[in-house]
Structures are given as structure tokens and as C-alpha cells.
Amino acid sequence: MFLDRTIPSMEPFFELRDEHIRHPHRGKFQDRGKVVLVSNCGFWEIDNFDPLLRHIKAYCKNANREFAGALLRPHGIVLKNLLRAGLALDVVEAAKEAGRQLVENGEIGAETVKTVCRELMPVETYLEVANRGIQRALDKH
């Protein structure tokens, strides 16, 4: 949806920019902007975001935008329950801090990113908890 909404900011024509064919920007969209990726994933490993990161970084080059970082939350399906239990509050606080850092410094600090994507539980525990939750949801239907 985000990428679809950016289509009107570019002309349908082509130009050579940075030795690569790209679309030129329409008048009022000439100013470079920044793009931050915020994404959640049900898989446990952070590398599941790699294809999405490559895609967004390529989009930034094509759209002449600066990639300003990413807040990635692997094994995110357990976060809500951990927050209800008063755990993992640092993850939410770090996400808020990332917004402040972006506005004030134009970038998100490495420690902040590390906190947002930190391990919430060991992979074996995650498998048990996630599969139990999925089974409960299936049993309801």
C-alpha cells in the first residue's frame, strides 16, 4: 500500500540517475525525504526481514529517498502477551525513542534498533508458545 501511494510522486518517463534508469520526480516531490521501515514478523529469526529490507532500500534509490533505518520486530506474535504481563516494556519504549531520535537526529541509534529487535524468548520456547496459540485459534473454529 505504501509503495502504491508513492506512484503519483514520480513521472512515467525515465532518466539516468546515478548510472541507473529511474523515474524523475514530479515538481513538488523533488525534495529528498527519508524512509523508515517498521515491520513485524511471526518468524523467530531476524534474517526473515532481509528480502523486505533489500526491496525498501532499492525503492529508496529509485525514489531518490534516504533510507533512514528499520525497526524490525521478529517473533512479534508473543509481544502483546509479554506486554500484558509487564515484560518487554523496553521494546515499546525503544520504539518510541526511535521516533524521537529520528526527528531530532535524522537517524535511529544502533542501540535503540538492537533493543526493538532483541530476543524475547529462546527459540524452543517460542515454538511451543506460538504453536500452542495457533492450535487454540484453530480449535475455536
Which grid coordinates belong to 123?
A: 527459540
15 phi and psi, to 5 degrees?
Answer: -145, 160
Closest CA to 65 of 32, 28, 17: 32
- In which element (H, E) is residue 114 found? helix 110-116
Question: In whole angstroms, what is the distance from residue 45 CA to residue 63 CA?
Answer: 29
* 50-100 tens-digit pLDDT: 999 999 999 888 888 889 999 999 999 899 999 999 999 999 999 999 999
* 92-120 tens-digit pLDDT: 999 999 999 999 998 899 999 999 999 99
pTM comes to: 0.84
3-class DSSP state of 10: strand
